[in-house]
A and B are shown apart, each in its own frame.
Chain A
Amino acid sequence: MIEMTDVTKTFVLRRRNGRRLRRERTPVRAVDGVTFTVERGEFLGYLGPNGAGKSTTIKMLTGILTPTSGRVRVAGLDPSRARTALARRIGVVFGQRTTLWWDLPLRDSLTLVRRLYRVEERAYRTRLAELTALLELEPFLATPVRQLSLGQRMRGDLAAALLHDPELLVLDEPTIGLDVVSKATVRGFLARLNAERGTTILLTTHDLGDIERLCRRVMIIDRGRPAFDGDLAALRRAAGADRQLIVELAAPSPPVELDGVEVTLVEGPRQTLRLPDGANAASVVAALAARHEVRDIALRETGIEDIVARLYRGDQEISTPVTS
């Protein structure tokens, strides 16, 4: 569905330099040697800190930016050459922008989109009925877009992007600013779309809940370069994410001694133990209970937020090579 081979995009930044009137031109590599393939039916999360090159990648995929070098193919087309033809086969949603017409009721925006994509009347009716049911559009179909809440507008935008039943849906921060209920509706909808219709989905987000809930595959880009590509479990392993056992003993005691287990913190009777990679938590607990009187136990996994924060800050070198 998507093939990117060694794609680079360089922008030239101009800025005034001190007293000189001449502007200095600095080339900036927004995307620097990105290679990946997305198969039909995949659900890919594309992560990266602000300014990492996510939006630039998306704009090259959809053809509104031309790569400086490298090869891009989407649905078999060269996006920058066949932008209009490609537009008929893909759907694009930007969380921060809207494709709907501000002054018209949502229903009218959708019929204009129908004309844009030349969707047959009958196909349109079926599709609109489906989308209306799944996205719960009915209550505000007749409301002018300017009066919609952000969550309603987002659902309207999703419907507009899917009326022509695209093979690929590209979402740029679709859940930004949404409340928990709206987020859940949108996520549930996307999961069904991918599972039942087989629509390939590429999503960028800063909301790691989207990733955990939806994406079987995660790609991370940092300063224009690919930093990780794999599933969530691989991301945890790659980032050296560990599990911690927090035990509360009957009385304060010196750090417990167990094979391969490191005590990272002692607070009175409470001790924090770091489990090594692949350790069996149950046997560690059993060993512990055999030697000490244990009041309470909690097992904690490093959250995805922490893992990604570490990666973005560069505290943690990713320990496995990028696979693609």
Chain B
Amino acid sequence: MGVIPWASWYALRRYSAYPLGSMAEAVTNSFFGVVRAAILLALWHARPGLGGYDATDAVTFSFLTQSLIGPVQIFGGMELAQRIRSGDVAIDLHRPVDLQAWWLADDVGRAMSTLVLRGLPPMVVGALLFTVRLPDPGEAAAFAVSVGLAVLLSFALRYLVTLAMFWLHDERGVQAVTLVLSLFFSGMIIPLVAFPETLGDVARALPWSGLIQVPADVFLGHRTGGALLSGLAFQAAWAAGLLVAGRLLTRAATRRLEAQGG
């Protein structure tokens, strides 16, 4: 067996090394779940059936997407960015392993760790305080696949942003722009079903919708049969395309690598 599964396994352990920190994040995520559920409930009371969701769907959406914050790291960022900035990336490049594959493996481990530590609490809190819709076994299985693809897609997007560090030497600008794009176009702020028609169509075609909106629709049973397959294919296609872009950019980046930090 190659090193890649091991890299994921050790990343899982590494990111699980601080359970107190993860618990604090889970509490925060759950709290904002309540806030968002209250806001969306008000919206759906005013406009029942908006975008094909009922009030229970809207509440479930709030807590579910709070659970996904960790696994798809919706706020962006990657440890690799600091390593490029400090020059520690030289260590990574001295290893007999592909840079992108290595960090993908790391990110998969990170996602699994946060899924367990930060994913469950918001859903539990939601179920205790509100009525939430839970999927049947078939929907749950489809949801698991969709979350897996969302993690890949999230990595592919953040890896591209991170590689920009090789050229920009500072990630804050790109980070700020991509944060807004990812929060808005993923459906994290308002579900994309509630977007006005044209904007909604645009948002649903962009990769960020594959991070939150698609998995949420699968969970809520709004995507079955052909719609389910097209949703998963949409996520997979964006993930594959962006991973290939990341490959090409990696090659360009290592060519231009400068002696940063001596």
Which of B94, B98, B259, B262: most chain A Cβ within 10 A? B94
Bound complex: CA of A293 vs CA of B58, how far in Å? 105
Of the listed stretches A112-120, A125-133, A177-185, chain B binds: A112-120
Kindly identify which residue among B87, B95, B257 contacts A116, using a CB–CB cutoff of 8 Å. Answer: B95
Contact A101 B10 (CB under 8 A): yes
Contact B259 A59 (CB under 8 A): yes
Q: Name the residue of chain B whose CB is nearest to the CB of A51.
A: B262
CB contacts (< 8 Å) of A88 on chain B: these are: 96
Is A8 an interface residue when CB atoms closer than 8 A count as contact? no
Kindly identify which residue among A66, A85, A96, A103 contacts B14, using a CB–CB cutoff of 8 Å. Answer: A103
Q: Name the residue of chain A whose CB is nearest to the CB of B6.
A: A115
Contact B259 A30 (CB under 8 A): yes
Contact A108 B96 (CB under 8 A): no
Is A272 an interface residue when CB atoms closer than 8 A count as contact? no
CB contacts (< 8 Å) of B94 on chain A: these are: 62, 64, 87, 92, 99
Contact A115 B255 (CB under 8 A): no
Is B168 an interface residue when CB atoms closer than 8 A count as contact? no
Contact A64 B6 (CB under 8 A): no
Kindly identify which residue among B91, B95, B96, B259 contacts A11, using a CB–CB cutoff of 8 Å. Answer: B259
CB contacts (< 8 Å) of B227 on chain A: these are: none
Supposing A30-B259, A55-B259, A103-B17 touch, asked if A112 and B10 sit within 8 A by C-beta, the answer is: yes
Contact A104 B10 (CB under 8 A): yes
Is A94 an interface residue when CB atoms closer than 8 A count as contact? yes
What is the total number of residues of chain A having a CB less than 8 Å from a CB of chain B? 30
CB contacts (< 8 Å) of A97 on chain B: these are: 87-88, 90-91
Question: What distance in Å separates the Cβ of A171 from its nearest Cβ neighbour in chain B?
Answer: 13
Q: Name the residue of chain A whose CB is nearest to the CB of B255.
A: A66
CB contacts (< 8 Å) of A64 on chain B: these are: 90, 93-94, 254, 257
Is B7 an interface residue when CB atoms closer than 8 A count as contact? yes
Contact A112 B7 (CB under 8 A): yes
Bound complex: CA of A115 vs CA of B13, how far in Å? 16
Is A98 an interface residue when CB atoms closer than 8 A count as contact? yes
In B205-262, which residues have CB < 8 Å from any A CB?
A: 254-255, 257-259, 262
CB contacts (< 8 Å) of A214 on chain B: these are: none
Bound complex: CA of A84 vs CA of B95, how far in Å? 7
Question: What distance in Å separates the Cβ of B177 from its nearest Cβ neighbour in chain A?
Answer: 22
In B90-105, which residues have CB < 8 Å from any A CB?
A: 90-91, 93-98
Bound complex: CA of A59 vs CA of B258, how far in Å? 10
Is B3 an interface residue when CB atoms closer than 8 A count as contact? yes
What is the total number of residues of chain B having a CB less than 8 Å from a CB of chain A? 24
In B76-97, which residues have CB < 8 Å from any A CB?
A: 87-88, 90-91, 93-97
In A45-95, which residues have CB < 8 Å from any B CB?
A: 55-56, 59, 62, 64-66, 83-85, 87-88, 92, 94
Supposing A99-B91, A103-B17 touch, asked if A116 and B97 sit within 8 A by C-beta, the answer is: yes
Bound complex: CA of A323 vs CA of B17, how far in Å? 54
Bound complex: CA of A92 vs CA of B257, how far in Å? 18
CB contacts (< 8 Å) of B254 on chain A: these are: 64
Bound complex: CA of A144 vs CA of B17, how far in Å? 10
In B1-57, which residues have CB < 8 Å from any A CB?
A: 3, 6-7, 10, 13-14, 17-18
Supposing A64-B90, A64-B257, A97-B90 touch, asked if A87 and B7 sit within 8 A by C-beta, the answer is: no
Contact A108 B93 (CB under 8 A): no
Question: What distance in Å separates the Cβ of B253 from its nearest Cβ neighbour in chain A?
Answer: 11
Which of A11, A92, A108, A116: most chain B Cβ within 10 A? A116
- Some 22 contacts from A to B, beta carbons below 8 A apart, are A11-B259, A62-B94, A64-B90, A65-B257, A84-B97, A85-B96, A87-B94, A88-B96, A92-B94, A94-B90, A94-B91, A96-B262, A98-B91, A99-B91, A99-B94, A103-B14, A103-B18, A104-B10, A112-B3, A115-B6, A115-B7, A116-B96
Interface set of A (CB-CB < 8 Å, partner B): 11, 30, 55-56, 59, 62, 64-66, 83-85, 87-88, 92, 94, 96-99, 101, 103-104, 108, 112, 115-118, 144
The 8 closest A-B pairs by CB, nearest first: A87-B96, A115-B6, A103-B17, A115-B3, A64-B93, A103-B14, A88-B96, A92-B94
